[in-house]
Structure 1
Amino acid sequence: MTGRGGRGAYRRVPPSVRWWVLLPVVALLLPAGCGVPVDDRPRGVEPPFGPPAAPAASSVPGRVEQAFCLVRDGRLVRTVRQVDAAGGVDGHLRRLLAGPTQAERAAGLGTALPGAVHVLGARLVDGRAHVEVEPLGEESGRSDEVLAYGQIVCTLDSRADVSGVSFLLRGGPLEVPRADGSLSAGPLTAADYPAVTGPD
């Protein structure tokens, strides 16, 4: 086709061809129109503002857990109490000798200690708990010494600072019954009384 006014001939470009030519240009312009800056290299992500998450609090703030071995249905049962302070082996043993709490009694837990073993005290020597006892009279009327000694051994053996428990009578080593009926001067651990169960 020849144009008017002596201008050279030209060819009309079809509309479909025009869109294909413009598409790359539109694709380059879209990111700039979205308001998101384009970086040459990755950027670090800043953490959200605010204090770090606090560790989970204990169930009873200011108190610690302490294990005790009690008796139910002729077996030793380990239970856990919340106490004000863990204290030493003697204090731990005194809590055991005081007997089950009201809640523990309601759960059917008891103790074999009264009348079976008379404890004078306990001390820690080189990682071993030494428990001093005195002989009982002939009229004690108790035959469950295994459970009584097992309660003491398993309670004190639950402590991280105790590697074994020995019993003394008048300052000398005392052989006490294990769960299988044999006598041992120790050091004894919970493994000598396999009737112990987990926390109840």
Structure 2
Amino acid sequence: MTRRTQSSGRWRVLLPVVALLLPAGCGVPADEQPRAVEPPFGPPAAPAASSAPGQVEQAFCLVRDGRLVRTVRQVDAVGGVDGHLRRLLAGPTRAERAAGLGTALPGAVHVVDARLVDGRAQVEVEPPGEESGRSDEALAYGQIVCTLDGRSDVAGVSFLLRGRPLEVPRADGSLSSGPLTAADYPAVTGPD
């Protein structure tokens, strides 16, 4: 038997052993059975398309059936909290509307400005008009909070009215002057 034949024979024996040991060393524990993973928001509206050159993904919280749903859009640049909020205030895109997504913001929350201060988003609002008649303010404020809280540079969202802290409704109906996070809206952000 030649040296080459002996060498290939060893590999035939060692290869199955290596194939069995390799997954054990990856650090991921094996479960006996599959387990469900709960997302922090409702199911995504649509799978994110691959980014076009020069574009990045940005997450938004929109509304479907009285619940917040996270969706991802392709944008030219992430930008600051004010630009992110302006995109949210513009409402759902045609594709998002076709997927059944909407917004609770028009008539419920009138945003003037947004800025990042010490890692917290501060959103300046003006008082809603008497004619608004909206009953979904918690959902509207939740859209803003959950959208901005999803940013890596934001560790909570506060609202201001004429420069003073404003108490806004959380999902449970209680009022809070913040800082608020997506965790303050579990009743509207849970899975469908």
Q: Shared fold (TM-score greater than 0.5)?
A: yes
Change (3 A) 1:67 1:197: farther
**Which one-letter code corresponds to 2:89 in the other structure?**
L
Equivalent residues in 2 for 1:46-195, closer than 5 Å: 59-194=51-186, 195=188
- Structure 2 distance, partners of 1:138, 1:60, is 44
Give the conservation status (yes or no) of the 8 Å contact 1:89–1:156. yes
Gaps of 5+ in 1: 1-26, 35-57
Q: How far off its partner does 1:197 sit?
A: 5.0
Corresponding position of 2:47: none
Partner of 2:189, secondary structure, is coil
CA distance in structure 2 between the partners assigned to 1:149 and 1:165 by the alignment: 10
**Aligned 8 A contact 1:65 1:80 in 2:** yes
Q: 2:145, 2:180 within 8 Å by CA — same for their partners in 1? A: yes
Count of aligned positions = 148
Amino acid at match of 1:196: T
What SS is found at the alignment partner of 1:119?
A: strand
Q: TM-score, normalised on structure 1?
A: 0.69
Q: Is the 8 A contact 2:148 2:154 kept in 1?
A: yes
- Give CA deviations for 1:72-128 in whole Å, capped at 9, x if unaligned: 101111111111100000000000000000000000000000000000010000000
CA distance in 2, matches of 1:84, 1:109: 22
Q: Which has the larger radius of gyration?
A: 1
3-state DSSP of counterpart to 2:77:
coil
Query: How many Å apart are 1:63 and its aligned residue?
Result: 1.1
C-alpha offsets along residues 122-165 of structure 1, whole Å, 9 cap, x if unaligned? Answer: 00000000000000121112111011000000000000000000
CA distance in 2, matches of 1:168, 1:174: 5
1:61, distance to aligned residue in structure 2 (A): 2.5
Q: Distance in 2 between matches of 1:98 and 1:139?
A: 21
Aligned residues of 2:51 and 2:74 also touching (Cα < 8 A): no
Secondary structure at the counterpart of residue 95 of structure 2: helix
Tell me how far apart the structure 1 counterparts of residues 134 and 141 of structure 2 sit (CA, whole Å): 13
- In structure 2, the residue matched to 1:196 is 189
Matches within 5 A, 1:12-51: none
What RMSD over aligned residues (CA atoms) do the two structures have, in Å? 2.1
Deviation at 1:60?
A: 2.5
Q: Is the 1:78–1:197 Cα contact (8 Å) retained in structure 2?
A: no
The letter for the 1-side match of 2:154 is V
Structure 1 distance, partners of 2:173, 2:167, is 11
3-state SS of paired residue (2:132) = coil
Unmatched 5+ stretches in structure 2: 6-49
Q: Distance in 2 between matches of 1:161 and 1:191?
A: 17
